[in-house]
Amino acid sequence: MADTSSFKENYFVGVDVGTGSVRAALVDKCGKILRVSSKDTKTWSPKPDYFEQSSSDIWSSCCYVVRDISKDVNVSCIKGIGFDATCSLVALNDNGEPLSVSPSGNNDQNVILWLDHRAIDETNFINSLNHPVLKYVGGKISLEMETPKLLWLKKNLKERCWDKAGWFFDLPDFLTWKATGTDSRSLCSLVCKWTFQADPKGYTGWSKSFFEEIGLSDLASNNWHKIGSHWQEPGRLVGSGLSDLAARELGLDPGTPVGTSMIDAHAGGLGMIGCLAEGVPSDFSSRLSLICGTSTCHMAVSKEPLFVSGVWGPYYSAMVPCYWLNEGGQSATGKLIDHIIDSHPASITAKQQAGDIHIQTYLRLTLENMAKRQKLPSVTMLTKDVHVWPDFHGNRSPIADPSLKGMISGLSLSANEEDLAILYLAAVQALAVSGGH
């Protein structure tokens, strides 16, 4: 961690809200990361395929990590802050207070996490209508997007949530609202996850006919206030910067500029296409960015719209101004690897044996020793009899079928550490091969 106490230059703060934690970085004007901080967030899973979080917990974690990286720094030198986050759905009442999206009724559980798959029936219903809007999401809307989740809330929690809702936010937009008090939405979130239409040669705005057809016409009232009547491209200044309250909570100066937010994967894609490296084409429209975490997103931009069945998009100006974005992906990658390891009978013993070594490093070393002992030319040969179909949480693209399940072939009665290592390798191989699909 760099000592910034004697520096007299401009700094910027980036906040990244992932599936299980919040991270912040203090960055100088050249893009060098000087400090980082991380804090875990809470997740509830009251039923299978239900995943819920708390916007209060997330904001509190944001405040913690920003204060942590800015301690001993002259905050007047911090010239801007930006947020990215998962594309999760936040519900608030008319007073801007958390409103439960959970069958439990707990208002602290007011965020439907992106990977929540409760809205399968609503998704199938929307797709059965074949509205022209769906052309911009690869022909089928995903149950990980916000529109099916909104319909689920109206059908299942109408009195307790829907009728009391004052705002519905994508999590990145909630953070800029919380930071500034300004209800300004990002084109990144609206276009990619809310079926907002953006076309420089056509219509830009909400499709009233689409929302009428799916049974959400009430969202059009008061100029679409509940889901967004003002929008901007990512990076644009939001309102007048940090509000007095948010500045106190974050430990920064009031009025510090706040940039329009992005979805976390899209922020990663923006960073990747801006890189310069030997052998990498300078024309970033010829690149494919893989953003890996709990899931994996495959991002590519083009100057003209490309319509590909089963691949989300094209989305205009969602990641790069004036470029169209297409997005494929896998719903569970890092999460699948964690699941494979944590659910195996040898997991506890392996983690104890690993000690301070990361469990995946320990398994890799185990595989190398096994291959050496068996005189194999490569560790890849260890999985010749074990195969994994990795769609444990459905298939995002190109099949676009959330009902698909995972499969393991080649198991025996043995369940020791070496079997865990082989299964781990087979899962990694499966993710790599399906990513190429």
The mean per-residue pLDDT over the stretch 344-366 comes to 97
CATH code, 168:
3.30.420.40
Whether 1 shows a pLDDT value over 70: the answer reads no
- The answer to whether the beta carbons of residues 40 and 21 sit under 8 Å apart is yes
Same domain, 221 and 85: yes
pLDDT at 14: 98
Whether 6 shows a pLDDT value over 90: the answer reads no
Whether 172 shows a pLDDT value over 90: the answer reads yes
- Residue 379 falls within a domain, yes or no? yes
Same domain, 213 and 359: no
- The answer to whether the beta carbons of residues 327 and 299 sit under 8 Å apart is yes
Whether 4 shows a pLDDT value over 60: the answer reads no
Domain end, chosen from 265, 283, 303, is at 265
Same domain, 241 and 358: no
Same domain, 255 and 388: no
> Can you give the length of the chain in residues?
437
- Residue 164 falls within a domain, yes or no? yes
pLDDT at 276: 80
CA gap 359, 351 in Å, rounded: 6
- Over residues 409-433, the pLDDT tens digits come to 999 999 999 999 999 999 999 999 9
> Amino acid letter at 424?
Y
The mean per-residue pLDDT over the stretch 30-50 comes to 96
- Residue 310 falls within a domain, yes or no? no
- Residue 246 falls within a domain, yes or no? yes
- Name the pLDDT band for 272 (thresholds 50, 70, 90): confident
The mean per-residue pLDDT over the stretch 10-23 comes to 97
pLDDT at 436: 75
- Residue 301 falls within a domain, yes or no? no
- The answer to whether the beta carbons of residues 290 and 432 sit under 8 Å apart is no
- Residue 317 falls within a domain, yes or no? no
Q: Average pLDDT over the chain, rounded to whole?
A: 95
pLDDT at 59: 99
Domain end, chosen from 265, 284, 310, is at 265
User: What's the pTM?
Assistant: 0.92
The mean per-residue pLDDT over the stretch 343-359 comes to 96
- Over residues 89-121, the pLDDT tens digits come to 999 999 999 999 999 999 999 999 999 999 999
Same domain, 260 and 342: no
pLDDT at 281: 78
Whether 199 shows a pLDDT value over 80: the answer reads yes
- Residue 300 falls within a domain, yes or no? no
Same domain, 105 and 23: yes
Same domain, 63 and 144: yes
Domain boundaries, position 147: 11-265
- Over residues 144-160, the pLDDT tens digits come to 999 999 999 999 999 99
Same domain, 255 and 370: no
Same domain, 46 and 194: yes
Same domain, 181 and 74: yes
pLDDT at 84: 98
Whether 5 shows a pLDDT value over 70: the answer reads no
CATH code, 394:
1.20.58.2240
pLDDT at 318: 95
Same domain, 238 and 354: no
- Residue 285 falls within a domain, yes or no? no
Domain end, chosen from 238, 265, 292, is at 265
What strand order describes the sheet that includes 324-330?
289-292, 296-302, 324-330, 312-316
pLDDT at 299: 94
pLDDT at 3: 55
Count of domains observed in the chain: 2
